[in-house]
Amino acid sequence: MHDIEPFYKWRDSYVASEDDRSPFYGRTYSEFAYSQKIYNYFIHPQWDEFGSATLYMKILFVDYDDKFAIIELIGEWNDCLQNDVMYLKRNIVDELTPLGINKFIVVCENVLNFHGSDDCYYEEWLEDIAEDRGWVCFLNLNKHVEEEMLLSGIQHYINIGDQFNDVNWRLLKPRLLNQSIELMIKEGVKKISF
């Protein structure tokens, strides 16, 4: 797992640690000192800790004009024992929504497991952004993770499903990815060819 690093090809346009409005502003990273672990396996030092013991993230891109953020996750999402969604909501989302961010694309292909609990924080997340026509979309969920999320009922608040899986998002620029996902959500488009 130590060689799975966050997507870096948009760094010429956005770096969270250099954005003074980002929750990660001013963070410094080592390319050599591995200190964070998931399942006792070290992960790449470029991932950001945000309060969870088993889930890490990277804010890949934020556009304050178009009001969207793209976040990549890695690890185990455990709402049952760790209340990971609370950390995500309080430490990240609640920092970005007052700045106008109301669309969240969350890349979940490196989420290894999901353990659900109640859906209160997901509901609150949607309530915070719905008035401004906001949405949340989880991309590229592993099938077993998606099934657990569906059992938890979070699909009432988060856009998940087959049309959002197998999206080759790395080929797109952030604004085009946002526009494509928004079209899929608002127009009910089943799949967009990338």
Query: Shortest CA distance to 75 belongs to which of 51, 102, 93, 97?
Result: 51
194 located within any domain:
no
Domain-located, residue 192: no
d(CA 164, CA 193): 12
Instruction: Give residue 115's identity as a one-letter amino acid code.
Output: H
Provide φ and ψ at 106, rounded to 5°: -115, 110
The predicted structure's pLDDT at residue 2: 66
Cβ contacts of residue 35 below 8 Å, gap of 6+? 42, 45
CATH number for the domain harbouring residue 86: 3.30.750.24
Look at residues 117, 113, 175 and name the one whose alpha carbon lies nearest to residue 144: 113
Does any domain span residue 191? Answer: no
Closest alpha carbon to 52 in 103, 22, 90: 90
**Which H helix or E strand runs over 127?**
helix 120-130
pLDDT at residue 182, as a whole number: 96
**Structural domain boundaries, residue 107:** 16-186
Structure-token pair, residue 153: 């009922």
Distance CA 52, CA 62 (A): 22
Domain count across the chain: 1
Judge whether 109 lies within some domain.
Answer: yes
**Quick check: is 4 in a domain?**
no
Q: Examine residue 43 and state whether it is found in any structural domain, yes or no.
A: yes
6 assigned to some structural domain: no
Q: What gap in Å lies between CA 116 and CA 21, rounded to an integer?
A: 30
- At residue 22, the 3 state secondary structure works out as coil
What pLDDT is stored for residue 1 in this prediction? 59
Q: Give the pLDDT score at 101.
A: 98
With 0-12 / 13-18 / 19 or more C-beta atoms within 10 angstroms meaning exposed / middle / buried, residue 73 is buried
Whole-number Å distance between alpha carbons of 104 and 39: 27
Each residue's pLDDT tens digit in the chain (194 positions)? Answer: 567 888 999 999 999 999 999 999 999 887 777 677 778 777 778 889 999 999 999 999 999 999 999 999 999 999 999 899 999 999 999 999 999 999 999 999 999 999 999 999 999 999 999 988 999 999 999 999 999 999 999 999 999 999 999 899 999 999 999 999 999 998 876 665 55
Extract the runs of DSSP E, i.e. beta strands, from the chain.
37-38, 41-42, 48-49, 55-63, 68-78, 103-115, 135-139
What does the pLDDT read at residue 55?
Answer: 96
Residue 90 lies in a domain: yes
